[in-house]
Chain A
């Protein structure tokens, strides 16, 4: 059943991101974020005090401290006080919260931002802390090992093979040559096995980065942007946490979110997928029924830059930018969270007919 059409038309009207890098030792999170906030506001001419609602996504576990987002808020310039909220999730979900806020009519514009610095720690170890704290996390199974389990399941099911995975990685990083923000671009060796069957080339780069988006409703969007990227539908779904109770070769939550977002009503020309591992693109292509006519991850996707907590929001921003530039008329953006694609968000964006 498709979701009813939203009561208000809401669009992405601006997007900015950092150059994503392996390390940013010399910058605090606030210093990394602030230029992005300034750039996204400058695109619309809005000031912090003009924004109706602000929402961010980040995680304390990357920062290594409780309440880490409070300092980022200081960088926004929340004075006089602002209407503001935060999700401990990828910024794509912060955008979802902002979208619902605009739907209520309580605000006409929203600033959404997300950031993550993975460089100070071992992100593979850190992500194990996401797992069931009593039975699984004490075993420290890391994110690459879990993704490898999923990749092997796909190979065993005949859905892919190692050369096909290598082709996904090569295509992504070739596409990224056109993306000055990407961390890994052009010819990247497929490398040795990280965890069999995944080679280093099948895995995302570890990096630091931030992104920001401005949403606006109705006429306000048209005032702020020549060709707004209208959110025609957005939905997200979660699956069971335990890997043993999921079919790792499929992503029913992605499919359901896509249905609810209206993806299958008409074809899209562009898909920005948050697939940190090459094998996950295989799962998502199947769930989203993407064929060769769709330009998948023209930005290079998460295999080219994967700043944790911002990478999903970047997919929405990249898809919206394609529409705003006129390179796309109808695009899908996808974000994921949790081990092996546990939680998935799908947004369908459209430009007005030209």
Chain B
């Protein structure tokens, strides 16, 4: 007997903002979970287990916060797992939850990821001095900027590409009521005129710090049959990891990312991702990562990713829309960012993405990465149940 098919039947997000001073951490996560349950038209009693993820505990200063959050998430008397795989955690958390259903351990699982970054200072949460180790160079941008520069040198991409991505994502965010940044007066010129933070990354090409949570209700075939709204079906999911630093690591296009995508495509029967996948929610915290990941994920040949971006293919009305929701560039509650990608992919194939819906999206990829481009998690969801 093969794996149990897994379906997404409920999705909930908070309105992501810089600081949710009106709620505690518990209040924040419960809001997203409640919305996911309402979407699925289920109650807390229908949930068999809870799988929760977030990025480092130092971001809020609570060690293993799942213990404190058990009550808020209706987990008392139930199994509760806590996943932590750095920036990819939102995606990994969803995948751990899918395994509980695919392995027939549970029928219906609530999975949730969050970050309440306003409770502390994320940049310093990432900048603890460790002897004999390379510091993160004043936040993540300092770590990633040299790799963006390497990409530009390697491919000959003109230095205008990054701003095109940021301009696109910020405009897409205007169509997403849950997105953090709603810059109604955004122009390409404003992006290009914004201050240089970590050359070549400009201020408007970076992600914000957000408070937010994202939740999903996952269920088995029987649960999907009872769903009041169209489910999104899991067609493939995978995680891959490689060491942070080693001679021979390709920071521009890590092997773990390529392997992870290949595993997902094999499971989903995707022969040509550019043709077979309708849209992508991609983890792009700095704008240049869109062309970089287009290549890493097999949507473009090496060196060609920036051409897709430049020609408008990744626009909301393009041939391969990327980050219809506005992406990480518009909303970044770090621990939740990966799950938001996965959830937005599911929203698209359910036809429930509202103003940022891609017409006829049948198969959509959700992508997350973390660490020093070290951890990858991805899933591909479809409007139709998987073949087997």
Q: Mark A133-151, 1 if CB is under 8 A from B, else 0.
A: 1100100000000000000
Contact B255 A81 (CB under 8 A): yes
Using Cβ atoms and an 8 Å threshold, which residues of chain B touch A3? 105
Using Cβ atoms and an 8 Å threshold, which residues of chain B touch A339? 67
Of the candidates A84, A86, A252, A253, which one forms a contact with B84 in the assembled complex, judged by CB atoms under 8 Å apart?
A86
CB B5 to nearest CB in A, in angstroms, measures 12
Report the stretch among A17-25, A94-102, A171-179, A200-208 that lies at the interface: A94-102
Of the candidates A102, A137, A239, which one forms a contact with B62 in the assembled complex, judged by CB atoms under 8 Å apart?
A137
Looking across the interface, which residue of chain B has its beta carbon closest to that of A345? B79
Instruction: Please report the C-alpha to C-alpha distance between residue A59 and residue B128 in the assembled complex, in whole angstroms.
Output: 15
Contact B67 A338 (CB under 8 A): yes
A235 contacts partner chain B, Cβ-Cβ < 8 Å = yes
Using Cβ atoms and an 8 Å threshold, which residues of chain A touch B105? 3, 100, 103
B387 contacts partner chain A, Cβ-Cβ < 8 Å = no
Contact B79 A236 (CB under 8 A): yes
In the complex, how many residues of chain B place their beta carbon closer than 8 angstroms to a beta carbon of chain A?
68
Report the stretch among A72-80, A272-280, A310-318 that lies at the interface: A72-80
Of the candidates B3, B61, B77, B254, which one forms a contact with A129 in the assembled complex, judged by CB atoms under 8 Å apart?
B61
Looking across the interface, which residue of chain B has its beta carbon closest to that of A66? B56
Q: Which of B55, B71, B76 has the most A CB atoms < 10 Å from its CB?
A: B76
Of the candidates A61, A96, A102, A103, which one forms a contact with B81 in the assembled complex, judged by CB atoms under 8 Å apart?
A96
Instruction: Please report the C-alpha to C-alpha distance between residue A79 and residue B240 in the assembled complex, in whole angstroms.
Output: 10
Contact B79 A238 (CB under 8 A): yes
Looking across the interface, which residue of chain A has its beta carbon closest to that of B245? A74
Q: Which of A77, A86, A93, A236 has the most B CB atoms < 10 Å from its CB?
A: A86
Using Cβ atoms and an 8 Å threshold, which residues of chain B touch A97? 81, 83, 96, 99
Contact A60 B57 (CB under 8 A): yes
A155 contacts partner chain B, Cβ-Cβ < 8 Å = no
Using Cβ atoms and an 8 Å threshold, which residues of chain B touch A119? none
Using Cβ atoms and an 8 Å threshold, which residues of chain A touch B260? 81
CB within 8 Å of A: which of B61-77?
61-71, 75-77
CB within 8 Å of B: which of A7-41?
7
Interface size class for chain A?
A: 35 or more
Instruction: Please report the C-alpha to C-alpha distance between residue A97 and residue B98 in the assembled complex, in whole angstroms.
Output: 11
Instruction: Please report the C-alpha to C-alpha distance between residue A100 and residue B105 in the assembled complex, in whole angstroms.
Output: 7
Using Cβ atoms and an 8 Å threshold, which residues of chain B touch A252? 77
Of the candidates B77, B84, B244, which one forms a contact with A237 in the assembled complex, judged by CB atoms under 8 Å apart?
B77
A-B residue pair count with CB separations less than 8 angstroms: 194
Instruction: Please report the C-alpha to C-alpha distance between residue A274 and residue B81 in the assembled complex, in whole angstroms.
Output: 18
Using Cβ atoms and an 8 Å threshold, which residues of chain B touch A82? 240-242
Looking across the interface, which residue of chain B has its beta carbon closest to that of A105? B3
B374 contacts partner chain A, Cβ-Cβ < 8 Å = yes
Looking across the interface, which residue of chain B has its beta carbon closest to that of A252? B77
CB B205 to nearest CB in A, in angstroms, measures 24
Contact B68 A85 (CB under 8 A): no
Contact A240 B103 (CB under 8 A): no
Q: Which of A7, A87, A103 has the most B CB atoms < 10 Å from its CB?
A: A87
Instruction: Please report the C-alpha to C-alpha distance between residue A78 and residue B68 in the assembled complex, in whole angstroms.
Output: 33
Instruction: Please report the C-alpha to C-alpha distance between residue A324 and residue B61 in the assembled complex, in whole angstroms.
Output: 42
CB within 8 Å of B: which of A297-354?
337-339, 342-343
Q: Mark B234-246, 1 if CB is under 8 A from A, else 0.
A: 0000111111111
Of the candidates A59, A83, A100, A103, which one forms a contact with B57 in the assembled complex, judged by CB atoms under 8 Å apart?
A59
Using Cβ atoms and an 8 Å threshold, which residues of chain B touch A290? none
Q: Which of A70, A77, A106 has the most B CB atoms < 10 Å from its CB?
A: A70
A241 contacts partner chain B, Cβ-Cβ < 8 Å = yes
Instruction: Please report the C-alpha to C-alpha distance between residue A3 and residue B259 in the assembled complex, in whole angstroms.
Output: 35
Looking across the interface, which residue of chain B has its beta carbon closest to that of A81? B256
Given A70-B86, A79-B246, A100-B105; A7-B1 close (CB under 8 Å): yes
Using Cβ atoms and an 8 Å threshold, which residues of chain A touch B282? none
Instruction: Please report the C-alpha to C-alpha distance between residue A343 and residue B254 in the assembled complex, in whole angstroms.
Output: 38
Q: Which of A65, A80, A104 has the most B CB atoms < 10 Å from its CB?
A: A104
Instruction: Please report the C-alpha to C-alpha distance between residue A18 and residue B239 in the assembled complex, in whole angstroms.
Output: 29
Of the candidates B58, B75, B242, which one forms a contact with A79 in the assembled complex, judged by CB atoms under 8 Å apart?
B242
Using Cβ atoms and an 8 Å threshold, which residues of chain A touch B58? 60-61, 65-66
Contact A80 B68 (CB under 8 A): no
CB B65 to nearest CB in A, in angstroms, measures 8
A contact set with B: CB distance below 8 Å:
3-4, 6-7, 54, 59-61, 64-67, 69-71, 73-74, 77-89, 93, 96-97, 100-106, 126-127, 129-134, 137, 235-242, 252-253, 256, 337-339, 342-343
Q: List 28 A-B contacts (CB under 8 A).
A: A3-B105, A59-B64, A60-B63, A65-B130, A66-B55, A66-B57, A66-B58, A74-B244, A79-B243, A81-B259, A82-B242, A83-B241, A84-B375, A85-B239, A86-B85, A87-B83, A88-B83, A97-B96, A100-B100, A106-B3, A129-B61, A129-B63, A133-B62, A235-B79, A236-B80, A237-B79, A239-B77, A241-B69
B contact set with A: CB distance below 8 Å:
1-3, 24-25, 55-71, 75-86, 92, 95-96, 99-100, 102-105, 119, 125-126, 128, 130, 133, 238-246, 254-256, 259-260, 263, 371-372, 374-375
Q: A78-B242, A81-B242, A85-B239 are in contact. List 10 more A-B contacts (CB 8 A).
A: A73-B244, A80-B255, A85-B95, A88-B83, A100-B100, A103-B104, A129-B61, A133-B61, A238-B79, A239-B76
